Structure 1
Amino acid sequence: MSNLSTITAENPLVLIGCGKMGGSMLAGWLKEGLSPDAVQIVDPFLDPVRKSFPELGNLHEAVDGLGQSLKPSFVIMAVKPQMMNDALAALKEHDLSSAVVMSVAAGKTIHYFEDHLGLDQAIVRAMPNTPAAIGKGITVCVANGPVSDAAKNICSTLLETVGDVEWIDDEALMDAVTALSGSGPAYVFYMAEAMAAAGEAIGLSPELSQKLARQTVAGAGGLLEESDETASKLRENVTSPGGTTAAALDVLMSEEGIARIIRRAMQEAKNRSKELAG
């Protein structure tokens, strides 16, 4: 965490929104050595924050509670998209000239933040996904011109506490990112749902079917993460010619099978992401 030395009590990190995503990131920063004095938290519901992070002292129910003399080095926007306008309106009253504003809110573009904070404001748009809550996420980031390479490195360090980080240059790709990794966990959860329901349909008890589906999906994901082999190779390793897996894959990999459905689903998600971004 040595490249976080610019984040101090005098030039703190301000976290606006300390729910599941914000709280997961905060836990990672503190675990990796960021001083509690170098963090200012803004959240309307502070009791859970106090309970989870008793070492923190700089807690505020609203942005207005931040001192006018405060000069943050980073402002992390982790509020719900519908709360963003009010948070930014209050934030404009503070000196952000030395700050990077990083948003982890879905659907809010860099242009949206520039409209509120000015074209000279350094802004990073980040798209994490829900496995970040257990440190297994992946976040894709894009920055505007005022963000320096050094600032990008610090943003990467902040986000790596909840998973892997990738940077892109073209913000238009964020709609595709949203469709794949942002919404993707729901596709996997639905696969587990469908497998459990199918297990019941072929004779297993609901309890056993749920457990087998859950552990199979979780275990396969863990194997995919730990292995150096591609998903295709891992699939082939499980598939004996003429065996049970091959019989199932004949259905899943047919012309009307899962690949076509997933492509359609992700296209719809991408289209909706564009609509929501306005």
Structure 2
Amino acid sequence: MTQAMVEGWLAGGISPDRFTAYHPTRKQAAHGIAMTNRLEVGTYDTVLLGIKPQMLPELAPQVAPLATGSVTVLSVLAGITLDGLAVHFPNASGVVRLMPNLACGVRKSPIALIGRGMGEPLADDVRQKLTQLAAVLGSAEWIADEGQFDLVTALAGSGPGFTYRFIDALARAAAQLGLPDDQARRLSLAMVEGAVALAAASDVSPADLAARVASPGGMTQRGLDVLDDDDALLSLLTRTLRETRDRGEEMGRTRP
């Protein structure tokens, strides 16, 4: 994920010399980014955590000396709360949870953020800087209630997985009904790409767009009737997001 984020930032015009990557064994980073095998205090303004959440207790003592003074800690670690980050990085100026998805590599990801300073709200200048940084990767959305962060993660972070499954299901359904597999995949992908682009550029809601596509008694309406029967699609996606959110909450309860 952090690699995709850096690729998005570079594609957005941020210079490679703004970054230093740490890895215990790797000797070289892509795109001319400086790589180090030693965690040493430097002139950083932000530390981005891109490790597996269960590794945080082991690695935090090594990272904490870097996160002091005016340094802000950014975390993409699922299940690690602001309280948990503050415990591990008590001398940072602030801690921020940031949740992108892999589309940040092509600068099309929604970026959810929530953060705080140590004992006070996040400084306005830090919030503004992080908003600008996140917006390079797509769009920035600050979340007011951390209790909603797992739901936001389920929607914006895990959502691409659900979307890919939907595209795959459309293609497989068309193939089962007689189209060649490769043609069904191409048509499904191209259709979704166009539909999303139109929805993003439109000044009306997706629900209204669906109504505009359908004619009374026509082909599209017959298909929509199947999806709408007993709110079948809505019920399925509500369950999907609920289960995903609840898993995030479970993970958070078992992590420091």
Q: TM-score, normalised by structure 1?
A: 0.83
Letter in 2 for 1:252: L
Distance 1:137 1:213 in 2: 21
Partner of 1:89: 61
Partner of 1:132, secondary structure, is: helix
Question: How much does 1:132 deviate?
Answer: 1.3
Distance 2:216 2:25 in 1: 57
Deviates more, 1:164-173 or 1:22-31: 22-31
Aligned runs of 1:1-278 on 2, under 5 Å? 21-32=1-12, 34-44=14-24, 46=26, 49=29, 52-54=30-32, 56=33, 58-61=34-37, 65-68=38-41, 70-94=42-66, 96-118=68-90, 121-146=93-118, 147-255=122-230, 257-278=232-253
Distance 1:95 1:209 in 2: 51
Q: Residues 80 and 229 from structure 1, CA distance in 2 versus in 1: closer, same or farther, beyond 3 angstroms?
A: same
Question: How much does 1:246 deviate?
Answer: 0.5
CA RMSD across the alignment:
2.0
Distance 1:120 1:73 in 2: 10
Q: Residues 30 and 43 from structure 1, CA distance in 2 versus in 1: closer, same or farther, beyond 3 angstroms?
A: same
Is the contact made by 1:24 and 1:162 (CA closer than 8 Å) also made in structure 2? no
Letter in 2 for 1:39: F
Distance 2:17 2:173 in 1: 52
Q: Residues 37 and 264 from structure 1, CA distance in 2 versus in 1: closer, same or farther, beyond 3 angstroms?
A: closer
Letter in 2 for 1:116: H
Q: Can you give the 5+ residue segments of structure 2 that lack an aligned partner in the other structure?
A: none
Q: Can you give the 5+ residue segments of structure 1 that lack an aligned partner in the other structure?
A: 1-20
Question: How much does 1:33 deviate?
Answer: 5.1
Q: Residues 47 and 236 from structure 1, CA distance in 2 versus in 1: closer, same or farther, beyond 3 angstroms?
A: farther
Distance 2:26 2:169 in 1: 39
Question: How much does 1:72 deviate?
Answer: 2.0
Partner of 2:113, secondary structure, is: strand
Question: How much does 1:238 deviate?
Answer: 0.8
Structure 1 outlier segments of 4+, above 3 Å: 27-38, 44-48
Distance 2:86 2:144 in 1: 17
Is the contact made by 1:104 and 1:125 (CA closer than 8 Å) also made in structure 2? yes
Is the contact made by 1:122 and 1:144 (CA closer than 8 Å) also made in structure 2? yes
Higher relative contact order (CA 8 A, sep 6+): 2
